[in-house]
Structure 1
Amino acid sequence: MVVVDTSTFDGTANREEDMFHEIAKVISLTVQGPHVFLIAVPLRHITKDDLTVIEQLSKIFGPDALKYSICVFTHLDCLHQKDMEIDQLLLNSRKILLDLIKCCDGRYIAVANTAAIDEKEATVANLLTLIKSMVNENGEHPNTSKICELVKAAITTLSDERVGRFQTAELDNDGGVHLLPEVQQIIQSFFCTATVPVSGLQIPTKGISEIERILTIIYLDITDSSILIPELIEYTKTFDDPLLCIACITSIRNKNIFFVTSGLFYEYVIPLIHGLPQIVSIYIFEDDRQKEATVRMDKNYFKLSNIFHHKDLLLSKLWKDVLLTIFSVQGDTITNIDTSHTDFFTKVFIGSETIDKLTMKTLSKQQVKFIFFQLLIDAVLRTPTVRTTNNCYAKMLEIYRSQYLKDEREMQIINEFESNYSSEMAIQWYEKNQFLRQSLNIALRTENMSDILHFRYFIADIHRQLVERCLPDCRPFTVYGVEMMQMGELKNIQKNIGEVALIKTFFSGTMSNQTALNAVSTNIDPLYEFVLFEIVIDCTSDTASFSSIQTLGYKENCDILFSPGSIFRIESVAQIPTRRIWHVKLSFTDRQLSKVKGLLERIRNEFPHPLTLMTLGNFFCKVGESDEAMRYYKTLLGVYEFDDDAIEIINYNIGLIYEHKGDYEVALQQYQTGLNRAIQSSSSNEAYTQQQIVDSILKPPLMNSASPAILYFNLGCVSFHKLDYDRALENFEKAYDCLPDDNTIKKVDILNNIGCVYYKRSDFRKARHYFEKAFDRALKILPAENSLITCYLKNISAAVNSASVNN
């Protein structure tokens, strides 16, 4: 166990440097994150400053720090002298004490400073029990904050410069803590404000070697050379001519540019450079006469840091932003990205430059997941319309109810949905109900297959409304939206600039970046980052995946709504240090996306019929992922548990997977289960709309409906493989009798398979008879060059030759 003792965090320190030193000490000695914060409060003297500790703790270690906090009341012996117990004190206490305990979720313990040893040991044991319980509640994970992550990135960067094990702090013989200067610098630069100048900051050796690759500082029309940063002078460019300056900026493609200008040219230069991905921060240095004009600029350009009238404040902010960028970018290069994460907002298609050459057999696992999600959404969007809520929305509402059981308002909304919902009002319900919107998008974002399928009717209803409201004339325009994303996902997008990505959820945006940025709060989860998406739309087709909903009177910050699965090209990814957010620029154009659409079309064409929910698992079978196909169909069984027609088709598809694996016994059981349900069932609307797809997963012959004929045919195939020729012949004959039309290729193939049974029985005369019947009928249906004609001829030849040898 590591215990770190600190001085006060109550804001009463004489100098901010002392505060920075204490913060640096705590983070240095617990860089992986503390598991518990013990807040010591003397009972003999409780003041408002004790509540300030709570505020400082949340500011430094993030809003979740209080989930890791316990109040430790000291000097309990003072109460004993007055015959008052701690619980009695709490009942009669002032609001300050109760607020402290409330902030710590009711966790507290009292310590008597002059107690006997055995009493102190008992108190310690109780404290450890309380700590253990809290740690278990937090999943044994330590508290994580942005500053800890930043220090860890810097430590990894610096570790190569130290001999032996790298430490952030060193202890002397007296127990004092000697902090490494680099760590103090990071802490100070992170917490300093624009009103506190920062001087004498140093960048680690490795950091300096990386700067040339990471960033450039460009000054335009800055006559005061003292505004330049001496330590970064070799990575700095200065200009007097705005045209030369703009030419230089546009020539720098893969760096982060910090742009500093006077008030003389900002009106002309900033509109030209603000949209460039390499520009991450803009600083204006000017006098008071130009202040009013620049304030107006601040509302339109989100990369504009501030208007500075004192050079020390400008240098302080610029230093801080530069340091954050250096360690942030270095952290990106050293961290492995877990792309198997499903809780991502996006899916990236890696390898778009060779997309024209890709086939089903050459797809990578990552590409398979991308394409499957697209096919899934396509199938969901084709779910049939229903005019009443009936049972089609029951499972969706059940999921919704389970999340808000104790919320009477939400229960009332669910009841209203059941009574009044219609598919023509889907967008209205989506937009006006935040919790319904969240439940739906969480299912999509986490790829919870069962929940997605339960939401399928609602998803399809929203999409159909977007199609009906499709923009008739899609001129180029830009949409802005804000989302929270994990750092791992951001890094994955950043390292795949130029590739295409899809957004898994419904995504809403606005035409105004300022309106979008209003959604950014200061209370940020330490494990997530706020991301401003800028989407440039310039297309003449396929606009059905999004539409304007502004005229319907929905919330002000939602002008455009995108359907899930919308595909974009990744143009740029950069951190905007001035706002502590990330900026991701995407594009939505016909030219850039045509290759991806072409690949999807080629894959769909490899199946005889369009893929739907009932048979989407066949895609996994085609790419050699039979376990994924099985998992998908098992999920479908739970979703369609009361739909006999659907269960028939699903069991049939599961049987085919077992048959392809060579497990004929289990395949036979699945086919028989499907056949029993088929005989007993009445047709369902959705199964009827999906049944045509069954053909694409059958062995030849392909059939166009999920009828008993299909099941008998495949039962015959399984029996044939198991050498049970009597059962095989029986099932083929039943399949033949179930088809009324003689002039179909289906009956031709059944005749061929009956011939195969007689061939295996060595009854070559009957085998030849059925092969010839199949051949004669095929000639009336198929062109002579068809490959099946050749197959039937070979079978006739085999029967004749075998009969000759046998004689």
Structure 2
Amino acid sequence: MKNKISASTATGSSSSVSSSVTTSKPAHSSPVPSSADDAAATGSGIGMSKSTNRNAMLSRPVHRTLQNFLLIWLDANFDESKDYYKKAIQHLRHIVATITTFTDVDQCIDFLSDIKYEKVFMIVSDTLGQYIIPEIQALPQLDSIYVFCYNQFIDERWTETISKVKGVYTQMEPICESLQIDRENCDRAMISISFNGIDASFMYTQLFKEVLLEIDDDDTKSVKELVDYYRLQGDIDGNHIDKFEQEYRHHTPIWWYTAPYFIYSTLNRGLRLMDVDIILKMVFFIRHLHRHIQNLHREQQQSSTNTMVTTPFQVFRGQGLSFENFEKMKRTKGGLMSFNNFLSTSRTRDTSLGNFARPAALNDPNSVGILFVMTIHPTLCAASSIPFATVSKVGYYKDQEEEILFSTHTIFRIEHIERIHDDQTDRLWQVNLILRGNDDHDLSRLTAHMRNEINSKATRGWSKLGLIPRGEQLI
């Protein structure tokens, strides 16, 4: 990064300052690879041993970032010993697990520039913001900026042309409110998508899902291993970890998945990066969540008042999509794509468009806003064992909207792509999808041979996991 600005220049002070890191993560820790290809190249250890011993797979205590995002706070006056800053950090950590603070501009720029596989939210003082924001605003890893000032009468005009600046704030509470929304949008946009014929991982992730759902472990032991792992990383709020350990059986898997804690974010990250350490710790939860959706699906299909039993219907999902993935999607038109996570959708088009797709197009210059319109044929779902369920009555946020949750790695065929007219952006698109079954001819042809080969060599889930081909370095 050129033209770095020292803190002494930016603040008018000649005294030297240093950065303060509020987490146990070092400022220049090694980033987690975005794919297993990167892992193989860097030797990061994300690749899984061929060993079929479960304990061997789980026994590598490597510190990792556990969410798709982190928060940077740059303020020349930051002092964690002061009560105000201490309380602010406590509030912020309920929203973002990993927070790194700086008082030095150069160190902050260096740290931010090194981040490759997470999105970054940034709080910056108005004094330093005027110097650093023009320098960093184009970085694709930088998602949102919150300018924090002590003088509500400052001139805000310099921020109005920078789309990543979400506002100028004099209180921490509205920053937390905005950060909560931006965090949810970030997680939504970072769900992994693979395209048949372009991404080699498309076929392998389907087999990976099948094997994961076969694994049946001691759930009590698995919960303990998961919370111990979270505590070891030091990123997740300790109160949230305690709550999960003590109350896991008191709530349903869908409740935990939709709750504002850490399960959704960490599972999303693990499946996006195929981070084996995270996935293997969460196998039990993936299985529990899948079975919960299956059971709800069965109950709801038997309801005499459920119109979704036999009649085709549409659900919607709004999100941001990188230019790279959008180009892949256009090249795959007519072909298959997979959402490589559990998939949240809405029955309300306006909610998906207005709250998610359009803001992504307006606020992120590095992505397009996508409104997915998904047509679901219930008879196909029944024949192919594709579970989905209405979760508005059982989720954490009850009765807020009619949310339909699909199990992991659901496959769709891309039917149509067209631009949505909008006076403020030309980066808003509608993509029409049709749900396809696991017995889709194209998919079956791709996976049948490999599935038979794996099944002929192993009979148990943990053994099969080590047999999924490493040719593409998926795991």
**TM-score, structure 1 length as denominator?**
0.34
Hey, what does 1:593 align to over in structure 2?
440
Q: CA deviation at 1:434?
A: 4.0
Q: How many Å separate the matches in 2 of 1:504 and 1:441?
A: 9
Hey, what does 1:347 align to over in structure 2?
194
Hey, what does 2:54 align to over in structure 1?
none
Equivalent position amino acid for 2:311 in 1 = R
Hey, what does 2:293 align to over in structure 1?
466
Per the alignment, do residues 135 and 421 of structure 1 end up closer, same or farther by CA in structure 2, a change over 3 Å counting?
closer
Hey, what does 1:393 align to over in structure 2?
223
Hey, what does 2:59 align to over in structure 1?
none
* Candidates 529, 536, 549, aligned match of 2:391: 549
Q: How many Å separate the matches in 2 of 1:558 and 1:536?
A: 16
Q: How many Å separate the matches in 2 of 1:413 and 1:190?
A: 35
Hey, what does 2:326 align to over in structure 1?
490
Equivalent position amino acid for 2:210 in 1 = D
Q: How many Å separate the matches in 2 of 1:138 and 1:190?
A: 18
Hey, what does 1:414 align to over in structure 2?
241
Q: How many Å separate the matches in 1 of 2:8 and 2:4?
A: 6
1:297-308 correspondence to structure 2 within 5 Å: none
Matched residue SS, 2:363: coil
Per the alignment, do residues 544 and 590 of structure 1 end up closer, same or farther by CA in structure 2, a change over 3 Å counting?
closer
**Residues 1:106 and 2:76 are matched in the alignment:** yes
Hey, what does 2:208 align to over in structure 1?
376
Q: CA deviation at 1:86?
A: 9.7
| Conservation of the 8 A alpha-carbon contact between 2:322 and 2:368 | yes
Hey, what does 2:265 align to over in structure 1?
438
Matched residue SS, 2:376: strand
Hey, what does 1:605 align to over in structure 2?
452
Q: How many Å separate the matches in 2 of 1:513 and 1:493?
A: 21
Q: How many Å separate the matches in 1 of 2:274 and 2:4?
A: 36
* Candidates 466, 470, 475, aligned match of 1:617: 466
Equivalent position amino acid for 2:393 in 1 = T
| Conservation of the 8 A alpha-carbon contact between 2:109 and 2:136 | no
Q: How many Å separate the matches in 2 of 1:422 and 1:489?
A: 38
Q: How many Å separate the matches in 2 of 1:390 and 1:552?
A: 23
Matched residue SS, 2:212: helix
Hey, what does 1:477 align to over in structure 2?
313
1:325-336 correspondence to structure 2 within 5 Å: none
**Residues 1:576 and 2:420 are matched in the alignment:** yes
Give the 4+ runs in structure 1 shifted more than 4 A: 34-38, 68-71, 402-406
Q: Which has the higher helix share?
A: 1
Equivalent position amino acid for 2:216 in 1 = P
Matched residue SS, 1:620: coil
Deviations 1:182-227 (A, max 9, x none): xxxxxxx999xxxxxxxxxxxxxxxxxxxxxxxxxxxxxxxxxxxx
| Conservation of the 8 A alpha-carbon contact between 1:568 and 1:587 | yes
| Conservation of the 8 A alpha-carbon contact between 2:384 and 2:439 | no
Equivalent position amino acid for 2:214 in 1 = R
| Conservation of the 8 A alpha-carbon contact between 1:534 and 1:584 | yes
Q: Report which of the two structures shows the higher radius of gyration computed on alpha carbons.
A: 1
**Residues 1:537 and 2:376 are matched in the alignment:** yes
Q: Which has the higher strand share?
A: 2
Hey, what does 1:562 align to over in structure 2?
406
Give RMSD over aligned pairs: 4.1
| Conservation of the 8 A alpha-carbon contact between 2:310 and 2:378 | yes
Q: How many Å separate the matches in 2 of 1:451 and 1:103?
A: 27
Matched residue SS, 1:532: strand
Equivalent position amino acid for 1:497 in 2 = K
Matched residue SS, 2:204: helix
1:223-302 correspondence to structure 2 within 5 Å: none
Hey, what does 2:351 align to over in structure 1?
515
Matched residue SS, 1:422: helix
Q: CA deviation at 1:448?
A: 0.7
| Conservation of the 8 A alpha-carbon contact between 1:485 and 1:529 | yes
Q: How many Å separate the matches in 2 of 1:496 and 1:348?
A: 7
Q: How many Å separate the matches in 2 of 1:527 and 1:420?
A: 40
> Which runs of 5 or more structure 2 residues have no equivalent in the other structure?
17-71, 79-103, 116-134, 141-160, 164-189, 302-308
Q: How many Å separate the matches in 1 of 2:73 and 2:108?
A: 14
Q: CA deviation at 1:553?
A: 5.2
Q: CA deviation at 1:599?
A: 3.7
Q: CA deviation at 1:529?
A: 4.0
Matched residue SS, 1:415: helix
- Aligned-residue sequence identity (percent) comes to 20
Matched residue SS, 2:469: helix
Number of aligned pairs? 309
Q: How many Å separate the matches in 2 of 1:489 and 1:69?
A: 38
Equivalent position amino acid for 1:349 in 2 = N
> Which runs of 5 or more structure 1 residues have no equivalent in the other structure?
1-33, 39-67, 77-84, 88-101, 109-129, 148-188, 192-342, 352-365, 633-807
Per the alignment, do residues 484 and 423 of structure 1 end up closer, same or farther by CA in structure 2, a change over 3 Å counting?
farther
| Conservation of the 8 A alpha-carbon contact between 2:256 and 2:396 | no
**TM-score, structure 2 length as denominator?**
0.55
| Conservation of the 8 A alpha-carbon contact between 2:320 and 2:367 | yes
| Conservation of the 8 A alpha-carbon contact between 1:36 and 1:131 | no
1:359-370 correspondence to structure 2 within 5 Å: 366-367=199-200, 369-370=201-202
| Conservation of the 8 A alpha-carbon contact between 2:191 and 2:339 | no
* Candidates 517, 524, 527, aligned match of 2:363: 524
Q: How many Å separate the matches in 1 of 2:264 and 2:327?
A: 27
Q: How many Å separate the matches in 2 of 1:70 and 1:528?
A: 35
Q: How many Å separate the matches in 2 of 1:405 and 1:550?
A: 30
Q: How many Å separate the matches in 2 of 1:582 and 1:344?
A: 18
Q: CA deviation at 1:501?
A: 0.9
| Conservation of the 8 A alpha-carbon contact between 2:231 and 2:241 | yes
Q: How many Å separate the matches in 2 of 1:474 and 1:459?
A: 28
Q: CA deviation at 1:485?
A: 2.8
Matched residue SS, 2:195: strand
